[in-house]
Amino acid sequence: MNNGFGMGNAPQRFDLYYFWDQFHPVLGAVVIFIVGWIIALLVSGGIKKLLATVHLNQKVNQSTQSAASPDVEQILARIVFWFILIIAIVAGLNVLNLHAVSAPFSNMIGEVLAFIPTLIAAVVVALVGWLAATLARTGLNKALARTQLDEKLSQDVGVAPLSQNIAEIVYWLILLLFLPIVLSILGLNGLLAPVQVMLTDAISYIPNLFIAGIIVFAGYILAKILRGIVEGLVNSVGLQTQAEKIGVFKSTNLGKLLGSFVFAVVIITALIIAFDALGVETISQPATAMLNQFLLAIPNILAAVVILIIAYVVAKFVGKLATEILAGTGVDELPEKVDLQRFLGTQKISAIIGCLIVFFTMLFAISEAANRLGFHQVSELIAIFIAFGAQILLGAVILVIGFWLANAVANVVQRGEYKSSRWLATLIRVLVMGLVLAMGLRAMGIADSIVNLAFGLTLGGVAVAFALAFGLGGRQPAERILTKLIDKAEKEACEPNPQQPSASDAQVNLPVGVENINLHPEDPVNPVQDDLNKP
């Protein structure tokens, strides 16, 4: 029985050992994988909490000045998680004797583990560079904030704040200096060579930047000094008061205006010299040429300004004097006499003439100033406008005189004794005004051909209308007039001439063939008398 149980139990023990030998590697691999997974979770979670404690994401966001930066803490935690999990997977594959599958992963892990010291060294160097760049940026921002450079540049030059930009430039420059060290530690020679060349060029360019900065700073100091000198000089000589007396720069501080102009010229000159020191010829050469042209144009600009100021002062004086003289002569009453006051309103003709004097004087001054500045097209345009204005004034004078004559003649005719004097005066006024209007428009040079054609057609139409009216509607009056003229002639022919010559003189003076005509009207033989006596 024992043998039977023994014989019966031997194959069962054999099967358990066999299955244990077959499945315990699988169970070991699963346990290793689960343990590795748990360890990966714990380590990645701990690293994420550690990185969150040092506020890595916020520092990265502040460094990159971006609110949409990636979650660096999560990325690093995921990398650690998968690295530990891959190690666990490789261990499980080795337990399963799957060396063909685990060998590549084992080699990768070995290379990664061998590279970790190098990576740590590169990370340490990068962290040192980042800390140095961050400290430099923060310190530079605070230092520039104490100097109030942004406020001065914004107030004096009108440029955007520069302290933040300068700090950012220093920050990235320090990072750039540490970049070749990091690449050299990592053995990335393919990236190291161009970075070294770029860094060498940048470092060799730093002296030029330093010189350009000194030039700009010195130009800024010099510009401030010159601006203060100009403002003090203008205020000391009283140019602001004199300018306000002649009616200019009433709402503008002349000293500050001239000082700002000098400040801008000096700053622009300093910037051009700085660009030249930097070797930026694409900017410095055109800017230098522009500055030379501007400096050469300064005398002409000053001459043009002086011309305009003198012309304005003289024009104001002459215009005021002419206004007072004309007002004393009673010329302001002329528009009312010629019935034009309703067009002028409350304006006086003397004031209008004074304004015209100032206007045309300033036009001449602007033309001369444009010639000084080389704006010949503007000068020619103003000359054309002045000529046209003279024609307009001549035409206006003709119209005023013509309207005055029309009203004067119409008033004289209207004082007649007959009732027809009123409409006759209106007719004369209209005719004279039409003639004067044509003359005035022609003097103004406004559509000469149209004015001539309209005037000719009007006169022709009036003549034709008069002829037709007299020919068609005036036949009976014309017949009566002609009858009266014939009767008068017959009557005068029958009356003796008081200055009749003697008979001998009459015989001598008679033409040939009429000697036998009896010159006495009472002679019955006279044929002319017989013809006149016929009914």
pLDDT tens for each residue of 140-183? 888 877 776 666 655 555 555 566 777 888 888 888 888 888 88
pLDDT at res. 441: 78
* pLDDT above 60 (res 519): no
Report which listed range, 13-22, 65-74, 422-431, is most confident: 422-431
Write down the H helix ranges in 148-188. Answer: 149-156, 163-186
pLDDT at 345 over 80: no
> Which residue's entry shows tokens 């102009």?
261
Burial of 255 (0-12, 13-18, 19+ CB in 10 A): buried
User: CA–CA separation, 502 vs 256, rounded Å?
Assistant: 111
Can you tell me the mean pLDDT for 289-316? Answer: 83
Phi and psi, residue 177, nearest 5°: -65, -35
Q: What pLDDT digit, counting tens, does each position of 58-114 carry?
A: 777 776 666 566 777 888 888 888 888 888 888 887 777 777 777 877 787 777 778
CATH number where 411 lies? 1.10.287
pLDDT digits (tens, 9 = 90+) for 353-391: 888 888 888 888 888 888 888 888 888 888 888 888 788
Indicate whether 35 belongs to any domain.
Answer: no
CA dist 253 and 486 (Å) reads: 94
Which H/E stretch holds residue 419?
none
CA distances from 113 to 6, 40, 107, 116, 469 (A): 55, 16, 10, 5, 128
Burial class (CB in 10 A: 0-12, 13-18, 19+), 406: buried
Poorest-pLDDT segment among 403-412, 448-457, 493-502: 493-502
Higher-confidence position of 129 and 488: 129
**Do residue 206 and residue 262 come from a single domain?**
yes
Rounded to an integer, what distance in angstroms lies between the CA atom of residue 419 and that of residue 500?
A: 46
Provide mean pLDDT across the span 316-320.
87
Domain extent for 398: 388-468
For the whole model, what pTM was predicted? 0.44
Is 204 within the bounds of a domain?
yes
The verdict on 458 and 392 lying in the same domain is yes
Please give the distance of CA 290 from its chain centroid, rounded to a whole number: 20
Cα–Cα distances in angstroms (integers) from residue 326 to residues 2, 247, 320, 400, in the given order? 158, 23, 10, 17
Whether residue 312 is contained in a domain is answered as yes
Same domain, 214 and 265: yes
Which whole number is the average pLDDT over 210-219?
87
Q: Supply the pLDDT for residue 268.
A: 85
254 lies in the same domain as 332: no
Q: What share of the chain is helix, strand, coil (3-state, %, to 5)?
A: 85, 0, 15
User: Same domain for 229 and 307?
Assistant: no
Confidence class of residue 257 from pLDDT cuts 50, 70 and 90? confident
pLDDT value of position 348: 82
Closest residue by Cα to residue 74 from 88, 60, 87: 60
Q: Is the pLDDT of residue 281 over 80?
A: no
**Contact between residue 135 and residue 175 where contact means Cβ atoms under 8 Å apart:** no
214 is written with which tokens? Answer: 């000194």
From 247, 279, 311, the end of a domain falls on 279
The total number of structural domains that make up the chain: 3
What would the mean pLDDT of 34-45 be, rounded to a whole number? 88
249 in Cβ contact with 243 (< 8 Å): yes
Interior CA angle at 419 toward 484 and 472, to 5°? 45
Last residue in a domain, options 340, 374, 408: 374
Same-domain pairing of 273 and 333: no
Question: Do the Cβ atoms of 248 and 315 come closer than 8 Å?
Answer: no
| % of the chain with per-residue pLDDT over 70 | 75
Indicate if the pLDDT at residue 479 is higher than 60: yes
Collapsing DSSP to helix, strand or coil, 280 comes out as: coil
Domain co-membership, 212 together with 252: yes
* Higher local confidence (pLDDT), 242 or 13: 242
Mean pLDDT, the chain, rounded, equals 75
